[in-house]
Structure 1
Amino acid sequence: MAVATLSEWVASYSLHPQQLVAAYQQLDAEISRDDNAWIYIARHDEIHAQLTTIFQMINSGEKQTADFPLLGVPFAVKDNIDVAGMPTSAACPAFSYRADKDATVIARLKAAGAIVVGKTNLDQFATGLVGTRSPFGAVKNTFNPDYVSGGSSSGSASVVARGLVCFALGTDTAGSGRVPAAFNNIVGLKPTKGWLSTVGVVPACRLNDCVSVFALTVEDAETVATVAGGYDLQDPYSRKNPQTAPARFHQKPRFAIPDQPEFFGDTLSATAFAKTLQRLEQQGAELVPIDFTAFSQLAEQLYQGAWVAERTVAVGKILKNQPQAMDPTVRDIVASGLNYSACDAWQAEYTRAELAQKINAQLGEFDALVVPTSPTIHTLAEMAQQPVRYNSQFGTYTNFTNLADLCALALPGDFRADGLPAGITLIAPAWHDQALSHFGKGWQQALNLPLGATDKTLPAGAAEKTSASHVRVAVVGAHLRGMPLNHQLTARNAIFIEESRTAANYRLYALANTQPPKPGLARSEAGQPIAVELWDIPLARFGEFVAEIPAPLGIGTLTLEDGRHVKGFICESAALHDATDITAWGGWKAWLTRHHST
């Protein structure tokens, strides 16, 4: 099976379901049973059962192929996430059990037509960022087998990077969905906590656990997260999207970067990051060094404080009854949680809250924070000598993210001089996931690197999808950029999208006795295209915006020159009797310029 992005896969097979059977036979031949990136590979009957469920619904007329946005798409699952009928081991055979039902995220992906082809290797109990702490063996880096793959979601990253599946699920508590992405030149989406349900996921630290997505492209990762995400009443930590975040970064994004980046003497990684920063500036971004103290202090809390006791709670039974069954390094980390008291735990929470508040205040001035995903990388041999120290280094720019309630997107970046990947991560406040993805898609197009460890390149960019969390509004007068009421948009996280024009059946008028001066737009059989600006305003802020609009203006639905329909300003006909018809000028700014110059 040639590696494919989601859209290519669906386009190839959605109209010919029987081709899926042949495709999966080919995929089965390509997956090696000796590949330790896999812990469990789905049997033929398990694959067939998933395909049959889809075929039956299509053939019966209950559903159409269009109802399955991920029709037949093969994906892998980190082996701490339940798939009905398959074993879940969390890379500890003594802990293994056969799952009775799908985790919520798996059920949603299957309902969209995706097919689970296997469970992947990980650092035991998702404790580690290295990919070496597993009785099933260390997963090797896909670019140089002497180096680590990163973890804990090592197997998931590996099978995606090699093109064996279109995407894979991981988990991310301290960076497990980002570090393996960086080390294998793929995309790692670490969503806002609570967006993707953790029901059916073996917990590591329940307060900070996230299901993450690995893919070759940002477009694919975003699609998968959108399908898998959503509120889950069964998950006590699930959250509803407040729909107040911006749809995109500003046209000239303003990024924070660490004022004194730490690379632990790794000049190759430092040089690669410097090149990436140069590239960001060349693309128009403003980079501002910030004091990184609060980030570093919070990162240290995750493993050097009482938060580690969450891991002790999660696997306490096997630690007590079968400690010899655990990886020695994992066992030592988990056992250290027994050293903390309830008082220590509360103090740790107070410290977390104080530092998180400082961090979010710092990031409030920026579109996002840009960091190296990992400051360095090590060989398998080096990792065996210093397993805790080097693991800690990998978490320098990841450990604080969930503790501070931030979302993150790990992206491919400039390679190191030795040919190893060295990715970057963009980090933003909770629920800014869509803005991260929008920027990431443009970044990946501009960089145009081979995808993962394959020789495949990025396909042409897909048409931008309409956001369900935002309202696209056409503004025609005092709300345009540079105009006196534009702040009513920007104060509500609205983002300018593009300049456009209405269809030809509109007329524009300068209204009488309005302050500040405003135009009125009205539909007319004898009209012409009128210049407008399109802005995306968060859905939850749209009502506030409309409430500030005074009569005789209101919001209706406008038709654009290209046939799109958007919300936009309209005017009551009664107000046009004493207004000045300025249609011939083609737009409010053009008329103002002419009017003020005469």
Structure 2
Amino acid sequence: MPVSTLSEWVLNYRQQPQRLVAAYQQLEANLSHEDNAWIYIANNDEILSQLNTVLHAIESGEKQVSDFPLLGVPFAVKDNIDVAGMPTSAACPAFTFMPEHDATVVARLKAAGAVVIGKTNLDQFATGLVGTRSPFGAVKNAFNPHYVSGGSSSGSASVVARGLVCFALGTDTAGSGRVPAGFNNIIGLKPTKGWFSTKGVVPACRLNDCVSVFALTVADAQAVAEAAGGYDPQDPYSRQNPKTAPARFSEKPRFAIPNKLEFFADSQSEAAFASTLARLEQQGAELIAIDFSAFNQLAEQLYYGAWVAERTVAVGEIFKNQPEAMDPTVRSIVASGLHYTACDAWQAEYTRAELAQKINAQLAEFDALVVPTSPTIHTIAEMAQEPVRFNSQFGTYTNFTNLADLCALALPGDFRDDGLPAGITLIAPAWHDQALSRFGMAWQAAVNLPLGATNKLLPASGAEKLSSNHVRVAVVGAHLRGMPLNYQLTTRNAVFIEESRTAACYRLYALADTQPAKPGLARSHQGQPIAVELWDIPLARFGEFVAEVPAPLGIGTLSLEDGKSVKGFICEASALADATDITAWGGWKAWLARHHSA
């Protein structure tokens, strides 16, 4: 019996967290050491120790249930990410060690209340997109056991797709957090580099590695990201979020698509992608073909240029001293890094920077790029015949992403005619992660496909959670859409959220001698609801916006009709003496329309 989604799990146990112990006893019955998606399954003591830490904090009064947004949520961890007291092998038995400390992302998830129940299989040293390069066996596709699950995060994707855990951590250097999601009909969140710490992660390519999230729903993946992400001073590649990116896509999203699509003669994947693109257009998105040559050139750099030497450095001692302990295909890839010089490496970086700049300039005109998560899929038997060529095919639309400093979200799409999933991926500039997730939530609700391989449907969405990286602002006059000062919002990446009204304790005035014409909003015991628009502006741009607000106007806190409070325009009382009371019109646009037609 599959576990629930993350959000359903937390809701189910929020009132009686003590029931979690019984829930885990039932969950353990679904786990099998014969299932090669797992490399290590936590024993009862290891699970109870984590659970009791959370329960004791609640029962002692040290913390409240609300302090644990991931209350008791079971999750799995790819076995190249450290969990204290559980072996880390990177799918290489000779490499195995016992970490004393959790990786930073694991520690943060535990602090949020989540519980690690095991470590998952992977392509050895995270080198591959196939899920077959492991001495623990090839992980099977959740829909058809003859096909690959995708890699390198094969086990993590499999256990999520089958509902054995609410979410799982993977890693993504060349697409390992996206390809397995596409092949198993789940969500793969590939964050902006540096948002998730990689401290405690066995590196593949340190400059491009990301910890990724697999989940059944976008909302769950986003909740995990918010708990796991954040600056880590102990990770030299960690970055602070500049908080300048938009909260959402445009009202009518503009998506780039490759002008030449390659499916390697896989007509079923091609047809599924065409069907999904049609869905996007039906939902109001505009699709524009772009020159994809720079993306292809950058993708080739990762495995067919000096960047592969990063993997040689990462594997280190075991490649030097015990090469026979490595998977033959992985060993041959790592060995190829020895063919490059320091001069080659510098030239590769110059090439990367030039192509990345071109790619980001192309994407600046769009909300995101839409691509097939993988252009094709192969059976486990076929992969054994062509391990390198077919692996390369899987990375056609993934390999460039981290090199170009982009974030990505793999989403379910229309299935192939043979019943296999064929997902899509949306790719956007760095730090546009939240906009991707917002669109992903709406997309998942619209397509309403079963979640993973569980046959469960998307649960009803809860109340919207406001972003800590943005400020919600209510505008009432010259900043409304179509008004002369609206550009002060749009040029700062602010996005329109919805039309709303204030609480019934405001009066609206047309101020005298203002250019352009502006209203003033004032709190009053004898008021009425006033029409406003709600906009989300990036936190880092909010100060600039406020600095342009002229006297007698200012920014304060407004009460809305639904009881919520947001930032919004207020007016000094001294400016109202010679102003015209226009409260009866109910809003600035209504007054302007009636005023000009009178």
SS at match of 1:268: helix
Q: CA deviation at 1:337?
A: 0.4
Read off the aligned partner of 2:307 and give its amino acid letter: W
Deviation for aligned residue 1:14: 2.9
Deviates more, 1:50-59 or 1:437-446: 50-59
Aligned to 2:244: 244
Task: Give a deviation string over 1:301-360, Cα, whole Å, max 9, x none.
Answer: 000000000000001211110000000000000010000000000000000000000000
Equivalent in the alignment of 2:143? 143
Within 5 A, what are the aligned runs for 1:365-380?
365-380=365-380
Where does residue 437 of structure 2 map in the other structure?
437
How big is each residue's C-alpha offset from its partner over 1:540-563, in whole Å with a ceiling of 9 and x where there is no partner?
Answer: 000000000111111011111111
Partner of 1:234: 234
Q: Deviations over 1:362-409 (max 9, x none)?
A: 000000000000000001111111100000000000000000000000
3-state DSSP class of the match of 1:97? coil
**2:403 corresponding residue in structure 1:** 403
| Percent identity over paired residues | 82
**TM alignment of 1:16-165, pairs within 5 A:** 16-165=16-165
* Structure 2 counterpart SS, 1:30: coil
Q: Which residue of 1 aligns with 2:507?
A: 507
Q: Which residue of 2 aligns with 1:166?
A: 166
Query: What SS does the aligned partner of 2:289 have?
Result: strand
CA distance in 2, matches of 1:284, 1:161: 29
Q: Within 5 A, what are the aligned runs for 1:144-543?
A: 144-543=144-543
Counterpart Cα distance in 2 of 1:367 and 1:471 = 20
Secondary structure at 2:307's aligned position in 1?
helix
For 1:173, the aligned partner's letter is T
Residues of 2 paired with 1:103 and 1:504: CA distance?
A: 51
Residue by residue over 1:117-142, the C-alpha shift from the partner in whole angstroms, topping out at 9 and shown as x without a partner, is 00000000000000000000000001
Aligned AA (2:257):
I
Give the drift of 1:29.
1.2
Give the gaps of 5 or more residues in structure 2.
none
Distance in 1 separating the partners of 2:48 and 2:564: 42
Gaps of 5+ in 1: none
1:557 counterpart residue number: 557
CA shift for structure 1 position 532: 0.5
Secondary structure in 1 aligned to 2:536?
strand
Q: Distance in 1 between matches of 2:29 and 2:474?
A: 53
Deviates more, 1:184-193 or 1:578-587: 578-587
Q: Match for 1:574: what amino acid? A: S
* C-alpha distance after superposition, 1:178-230 (max 9, x if no partner): 00000000000000000000000000000000000000000000000100000
Aligned residue for 1:87, secondary structure, equals: coil
For residues 563 and 455 of structure 1, the distance between their equivalents in structure 2, rounded to whole angstroms, comes to 38
CA distance in 1, matches of 2:6, 2:179: 23
User: 2:2, 2:454 within 8 Å by CA — same for their partners in 1?
Assistant: no
CA distance in 2 between counterparts of 1:9 and 1:159 reads 16
**Retained in 2: the 8 A contact 1:147–1:377?**
yes
SS in 2 for 1:551: coil
- Give the Cα separation in 2 of the matches to 1:13 and 1:483: 48
Task: In structure 2, give the amino acid aligned to 1:146.
Answer: H
Question: Is the Cα contact below 8 Å between 2:2 and 2:162 reproduced in 1?
Answer: no
1:11 is matched by which residue type in structure 2?
Answer: L
Q: Which amino acid aligns with 1:421?
A: P
Aligned residues of 1:259 and 1:292 also touching (Cα < 8 A):
yes
- Match of 1:498, SS state, is strand
Q: In structure 2, how many angstroms separate the alpha carbons of the residues matched to 1:460 and 1:60?
A: 33
Q: How far 1:2 sits from its partner (Å)? A: 3.9
Comparing 22-31 with 298-307, greater Cα deviation is found at 22-31
Q: CA contact under 8 A between 1:305 and 1:348: conserved in structure 2?
A: yes
Deviations 1:442-489 (A, max 9, x none): 000000000000111100112211110100000011100000100000
Which amino acid is 2:21 matched to?
V
Contact 1:14–1:72 (CA under 8 A) maintained in structure 2: no
Distance in structure 2 (CA, Å) of the matches to 1:26 and 1:528? 55
Question: Are the aligned partners of 1:146 and 1:380 in contact in 2 as well (CA < 8 Å)?
Answer: yes
Using the TM superposition, give the Cα deviation of residue 66 of structure 1 relative to its aligned residue in structure 2, in angstroms. Answer: 1.6
Report the Cα distance in structure 2 between the residues aligned to 1:250 and 1:574, rounded to whole angstroms: 38
Structure 1 stretch displaced more, 134-143 or 570-579 = 570-579
Instruction: Report the AA paired with residue 501 of structure 2.
Output: R
Cross-structure match for 2:15 = 15
* SS of aligned partner of 1:508: strand
Evaluate the alpha carbon distance shift between residue 550 and residue 525 of structure 1 in structure 2; reply closer, same or farther with a 3 A threshold. same
The one-letter code matched in structure 2 to 1:298 is L
Which moved further from structure 2: 568-577 or 8-17? 8-17
3-state SS of 2:416 partner = coil
> CA contact under 8 A between 1:560 and 1:566: conserved in structure 2?
yes
Deviation at 1:56, TM superposition (A): 1.8
Letter in 1 for 2:478: A
TM-score by length of 2: 0.99
Cα drift, residue 52 of structure 1: 1.6
Normalising by structure 1, what TM-score?
Answer: 0.99
Greater shift in the superposed pair: 571-580 or 91-100: 571-580
CA distance in 2, matches of 1:242, 1:18: 40
> What's the secondary structure of 2:541's corresponding residue?
helix
User: Contact 1:76–1:116 at 8 Å: present in 2 too?
Assistant: yes
Aligned 8 A contact 1:476 1:587 in 2: yes
Once residues 490 and 455 of structure 1 are traced to their aligned partners in structure 2, the CA distance between those partners, rounded to angstroms, is 41
Structure 1 residue ranges (4+ consecutive) displaced by more than 3 angstroms after TM superposition: none
Equivalents in 2 of 1:125, 1:132: separation in Å?
12
The farther-off stretch of 14-23 and 94-103 is 14-23
Structure-1 separation of matches of 2:46 and 2:405: 38
Shift of 1:68: 1.1
CA contact (8 A) 2:187 2:412 kept: yes
Aligned-partner Cα distance in 2 for 1:7–1:490: 33
- SS of 1:526's partner is coil
Q: 2:465, 2:28 → 1: CA distance?
A: 34
**How many residues are treated as equivalent by the alignment?**
598
Structure 2 counterpart of 1:128, one-letter code: G
Kindly state the Cα deviation for residue 15 of structure 1 after the two structures are TM-superposed.
2.9
Matched residues in 2 for 1:577 and 1:20: separation? Answer: 62
Check the 8 A contact 1:309/1:340 in 2, yes or no: yes
User: Secondary structure of 2:29's match?
Assistant: helix
CA distance in 2, matches of 1:231, 1:575: 45
Q: What's the offset of the Cα at 1:20?
A: 1.5
